[in-house]
Structure 1
Amino acid sequence: MCPSAVFSQLERRTWLVPALLLIGLTAGAYIPAMNGGFIWDDDDYVQDNLTLRSLEGLGQIWLQPGATRQYYPLVHTTYWLEYRLWGLNPTGYHVVNVILHALSAVLVWRLLIRLKVPGAWAAAALFALHPVHVESVAWITERKNALSGAFYLSAAGAYLRYEEAHSPRLYWTALFLFAAALLSKTVTCTLPAALLLVLWWKSQTPMRRTEVALVPFFALGAAMSGMTVWMEKHSVGAWGPEWDLSLVERGLIAGRALWFYAAKLLVPLNLAFIYPRWAIDATAVWQYLYPAGALGVGALLWALRERLGRGPLTGVLFFVGTLTPALGFFNFYPMLYSFVADHFQYLASLGLLALAAAGGHRTWTRLGRPAAGPVSLALVLAVCGLLTWRQGQVYADLETLWRDTLQKNAGAWIAHNNLANILKERGQLDQAIGHYRQALLLEPSSAQIHLNLADAHRARGESAAALRHYRRALKAEPNRVETHLKLGNALLGQNAVAEAIEHYRQALRLAPDLALAHSNLGAALAIQRQDAEAIGHYRRALQLKPDFAEAHNNLGRLLALRGQFAEAIDHYRRALQIKPNYRQARTNLAEALQAVGADSRSKP
């Protein structure tokens, strides 16, 4: 008996063995990913995410949009629960991502069986092992894809069962699961359109009842998507010249992106964390070939739908429709450095993968060689599994990730900048400065790169170069508080106290409740012997940040100079409670206690 017949019998008897095989293959291929650490954006989502630390934080996750970088409360709730289980051990978070991906593969298999798609298990296995999905699984931040994908597929399965049984319970279950998918990632808003497409494929009759039943799905998807678009601009920062694109330019991006994603599915080589950002030119005729070609494929499949059936057209339309939120028609932050990313096609890939599996199954059957199908599938899965294993190693840590990115895309300025940050923290300043300079050649107007390069020069004692780049950073982004503070610090180091004070004051005009700005201004004012105003700023800094050890120490020094030793001693002691190894505060405390003792001994 050929392997395909064996699988058919297994599917009739039980789904357990094929499901376990999918899970086992997924787990095996993702072993390197499960051993990885935290990488880019994982600090915002997990490591430095204060909402994970308390029960109050859980409430903020759900009730305060903006408390987390994006309003995906179910994703952050999983992080909140995991933080209680394994804290900041990245392995646990990686394992959960792999489990969710394996679960989604099983759901894909069961869903395609329900739709009677030939080669359903093969399609699910391709989804599980395809290396283009490593970014979605190995990146903890992309829990968004892994979790929303599982809910999306579950909702689709529940709705298709509702279409068969017309059970209100199944309908509300599907709507609930769809809401959960949206609360994990709003790219899943395309589900109701996908369901209409699938039902059109399977039905030859009008679908007025289905259209009405899906209205709440469309409404919910539109509402949540609108919220995400707003937050992407106002919270994440997807606005500015990089996003000022005409509708024609966005169409050119979309057409090219479709071919890019299809090519990566067909030949998953040279996968990169950041791909080159295309230069879009609406006057270049050749760039219109991409959208024209995509439209041509759609028109051809439509014309051949009677001969080929609706299946091929459905698969392609699902691929295009599910990708639509990430094709450039709406602004999203990664457009700053690239128009495409592997994780954008996590769900969309199912359209072409299912089409490929079904096509392969039918081809071998028509050729009268059904046994060749499982053999060829095994070879393809082996290659995919090995590529996934290798790609998972790229996500071991930040330095490995950025070096791999630069190897594949030397023009990735953000990778140069971020690798330089790692090298700078390690004290490898020469190498860091080299990467910062390369980043500036690629993105000369970036305030952040100028700021980082200035920090590196200052750490190396190159004050003139540091000041030059701080000023360039300020010119590029005049209202950036951090730049005013750092430029003020550099000027203070050069005894340009008056100019430093102006930058500290400007920082406070931009951020009146920033404790560090009050403290720095207090230090500069103290140098100019403006003690009363300096004391006021130190007191304000401590109101805003009571555990600010340096402000306690510096305020204590000014108070001691004015003879207010008792209060000065209190502040020194508070500084030492916060930082027990704070040597300067300990010295100042000893001097103050000695002064108080000498003063008491001099009295009759």
Structure 2
Amino acid sequence: MTSSPIHSRNGTALAAAVLLVLVTAGTYLNSLPNKFINYDDPIYVFSNPHVTGGFTWDNIRWAFTSLDHFWHPVTWLSIMLDWQLFGAQPWGHHLVSVLLHTASALMLFEFLRRTTGAVWRSFFAAAFFGVHPLHVESVVWAAERKDVLSGFFFMLTLIAYARFARGFRVQGSGSEGPGAMDEGRELSQTGRGGWTGPTRGVIWYLSSLLFFALGLMSKSMVVTVPVILLLLDFWPLKRVQSPSTYAKASADKKSKVQSAEPTAPEREFRVQSSKFKVQGSSSSPDPRPSTLGPRRSSWSVVGGLFLEKIPFFVLSALMSGLTIVAQNQTGALQTAARLPMVYRVENAVLSYAEYLWQTVWPTRLAVFYSYPKFFPVWLVLGLTVAGCAFTAAVLWWARRRPWLAVGWGWYLITLLPVIGIVQVGSQAHADRYTYLPLIGIFIAVVWEVAELGFQGSGFRVQNLRGVRAEESGSDTPTLRRSHALTLLGVAALCCYIWLTWCQVGYWRDSEKLFGHALQVQPNNEVAHVNMGTALETKAQSLAQASARARDPQERKALSDQAAQLENQAAQHFQDAVQAQPSFAVAHCDLAAAYLRRHRTEPAIYHAQKALDLNYTGAHRILGAAYGEAGNLEKAIYHLRLAVQLAHTTEQLAEAHHNLGYALWQKGLTNEAKAEFQEEKRLQTGPRDH
């Protein structure tokens, strides 16, 4: 008994989905032994008292009201849940991120398969998303849970929207006026029970809006979703059609439904009739409906689709405003005086090109990329001209090769919030910013390469959505070309899997991660600071071990190792200040290094410098330095501010201790006891990871 083509195709899709899950999850198994790192993980995970405090009403309220850098309550709740389940074990946090990323890759495959009918093209696009080395930072960095979580809801938004769009099309004009919604191919029309067509459409529309809201509450970068949905209306959803073209297509579909009674699985993927139909390329013109329809109705169609997205645009506008307020409140927004607009635009142009190059050749990746000292004018102008020319070309080809226009537009638009025009932070660009934008590049490349492989074929088979489902084997050169391109795609995937596996290994711990970053960019100020911090932490552990050692020789050896590491850490802080004199954190850490050597004068100088650069964390170091210098009034003043402004449990405990000691020296015994008791309470939680 032979299986039908539809059943065979569903089996192929299932096999591709299983393979995608195994490849994506398997590539990131190397991340489970990784530790937390000292860059943002203390603030987001193991040293945040609201996270380590678990699910309490106070912590949940804090998640929805805190504007610390971003407003992302769903991300906070996710990290709280991880801590509730796994505590201070990093592998559990990494496992959840890997599962979210794998689920997103699977949903991307399902979305593309459902909307285009092309199983293996969808597989390759989703697989490149799943295993590309540029996505390592988003997946294995615990503090970047917001990336994979927002990506998860982003995919759910697309799937729900595609289900909504299946049942409703927007016409350019007609009896109900421009932009009217017309019920299209809906399951209830073929006799299936459940909601009616309009009700089902509303449910899917509201679901899409809800998932989008959850995505925004995970990371504000998904604010571009409304524009992406408009692109998807053009292709692959093909909702932009003229009334005449749409009426003809609807009549054809209706007659086919009445002439054949397909089973439920066959309604998902139909191929021109109940059986495959092979058409010669030299026969009648391509029966696929026009993507845009007559020019006279295009603008009214787009207007109707835009009106449909108004709730999405409203949510995007609200989140954009809230994000700017939060960033401005914490001082993360770079002013025009510190970073001129011309400089930002030049960096944006180079970043667009850099991301594309790293997509093709993803080596020498780092956790942080410093701003270059200058931008070659000839390079900026050349890339601008090339980018504009390519954009014009894909728009010119939009009717015949819509995937190029949609993929390129996806890439350009989704990068806009983080391209640096509104600069947040001091990085020139970041790997994590490519998490969603590169999907557009993967779609455009995979579909275009597949088309090149099929060019010259004498026969073709089309599925219901007008996309070639299979190719005949009569054209041997074309078959060889398609096989060669498939092997090339498999080889590229294998290379990316290996590079991703290696890149994940660099995230084993802070020392290895920032040591690699310094190999990539020796004058990397952030890498110097975090490398110094990692060495300081290691030195403190050795000093504690030295204090516990009973053998005098062992005690001396451990003490010497600790002193050597402290010297290396101080040198890294000094290198960071030299690389970027306006880097406040480097000044603060250098001040702390001087203070540990009891050199109060340079400690006060660098701590005050950090404070002048609007780094509030410097109050803790400046207060301790003044206390050691004997200026108790200033010490108490700065340490009280440090208690109010501390970001982590460790910083808060240290501030309470130093404040208590300063109060005790001043004779305020009762107040000092209260500070020491608070320090003891905070120290009962986890500290070292």
Q: Could you tell me the TM-score, scaled by structure 1's length?
A: 0.80
User: Match of 1:302?
Assistant: 395
Counterpart code for 1:419: M
Distance 2:632 2:423 in 1: 39
Instruction: Please give the secondary structure, in 2, of the residue aligned with 1:152.
Output: helix
Contact persistence 1:474–1:480 (CA under 8 A) = no
Q: Whose RCO is larger (CA < 8 A, sep 6+)? A: 2
Match of 1:269 among 363, 376, 389: 363
When the two chains are superposed, the root-mean-square deviation of aligned CA atoms in Å is 2.9
Q: 1:177-188 residue pairs with structure 2 within 5 A?
A: 177-188=211-222
2:326 maps to 1:195: no
Q: 1:167-566 residue pairs with structure 2 within 5 A?
A: 167-201=201-235, 202=238, 203=240, 204=292, 205=298, 206-235=301-330, 237-240=331-334, 244-280=338-374, 284=377, 286-306=379-399, 308-333=400-425, 336=426, 338-366=427-455, 367-369=478-480, 370-425=482-537, 426=539, 427=562, 428-459=565-596, 461=597, 463-464=598-599, 466-478=600-612, 483=618, 486-487=621-622, 489-490=624-625, 493=628, 496-497=629-630, 500-507=631-638, 515=656, 518-525=659-666, 534-535=667-668, 538-542=669-673, 546-548=677-679
Alpha-carbon displacement from aligned partner over 1:56-98 (angstroms, at most 9, x marks no partner):
24422443223x6532111221222222221111111111111
User: Match of 2:10?
Assistant: 12
Contact persistence 1:507–1:517 (CA under 8 A) = no
Distance 1:488 1:161, change over 3 A: closer
Distance 1:480 1:126, change over 3 A: closer
Contact persistence 1:515–1:540 (CA under 8 A) = no
Shift of 1:286: 4.2
User: Match of 1:72?
Assistant: 72
Contact persistence 1:492–1:524 (CA under 8 A) = no
Distance 1:434 1:242 in 2: 31
Distance 2:220 2:396 in 1: 33
Distance 1:222 1:543, change over 3 A: same
User: Match of 1:106?
Assistant: 106
Distance 1:140 1:181 in 2: 18
Contact persistence 2:529–2:573 (CA under 8 A) = yes
Contact persistence 1:182–1:224 (CA under 8 A) = yes
Name the count of aligned residue pairs: 524
Q: Could you tell me the TM-score, scaled by structure 2's length?
A: 0.70
Distance 1:505 1:430, change over 3 A: closer
Instruction: Please give the secondary structure, in 2, of the residue aligned with 1:83.
Output: helix
User: Match of 2:257?
Assistant: none
Instruction: Please give the secondary structure, in 1, of the residue aligned with 2:317.
Output: helix
2:162 maps to 1:160: yes
User: Match of 1:87?
Assistant: 87
Match of 2:138 among 136, 139, 142: 136
Counterpart code for 1:379: A
Distance 1:183 1:484, change over 3 A: closer
Distance 1:519 1:258 in 2: 51
Counterpart code for 1:77: L
Distance 1:48 1:218 in 2: 36
Shift of 1:162: 0.8
Distance 2:424 2:627 in 1: 39
Shift of 1:438: 1.4
Alpha-carbon displacement from aligned partner over 1:487-539 (angstroms, at most 9, x marks no partner):
5644654xx53xx12422542685697755653443443xxxxxxxx22xx43
Seq. identity, %? 27
Distance 1:477 1:8, change over 3 A: farther
User: Match of 1:59?
Assistant: 60
Distance 1:420 1:512 in 2: 24
Distance 1:348 1:104 in 2: 14
Distance 1:10 1:81, change over 3 A: farther
Structure 1 gaps of 5+ residues are 1-5, 526-533, 550-574, 580-604
2:162 maps to 1:25: no
Distance 2:5 2:19 in 1: 11
Alpha-carbon displacement from aligned partner over 1:390-447 (angstroms, at most 9, x marks no partner):
1110111111111011011111111111111121231311211221221121123444
Counterpart code for 2:532: A
Distance 1:104 1:243 in 2: 40
User: Match of 2:36?
Assistant: 38
Say which is worse superposed, 173-182 or 510-519, in terms of deviation.
510-519
Instruction: Please give the secondary structure, in 1, of the residue aligned with 2:364.
Output: coil
Distance 1:445 1:246, change over 3 A: closer
Distance 2:508 2:417 in 1: 29
Counterpart code for 1:519: G
Structure 2 gaps of 5+ residues are 169-200, 241-291, 293-297, 456-477, 540-561, 645-654, 685-689
Contact persistence 1:229–1:331 (CA under 8 A) = no
Counterpart code for 1:297: F
Distance 1:279 1:7 in 2: 60
Say which is worse superposed, 183-192 or 361-370, in terms of deviation.
361-370
Instruction: Please give the secondary structure, in 2, of the residue aligned with 1:265.
Output: helix
Contact persistence 2:660–2:676 (CA under 8 A) = no
Distance 1:86 1:421 in 2: 26
Distance 1:7 1:230, change over 3 A: farther
Alpha-carbon displacement from aligned partner over 1:456-501 (angstroms, at most 9, x marks no partner):
3443x4x44x5224223314524867656645644654xx53xx12
Contact persistence 2:73–2:218 (CA under 8 A) = yes
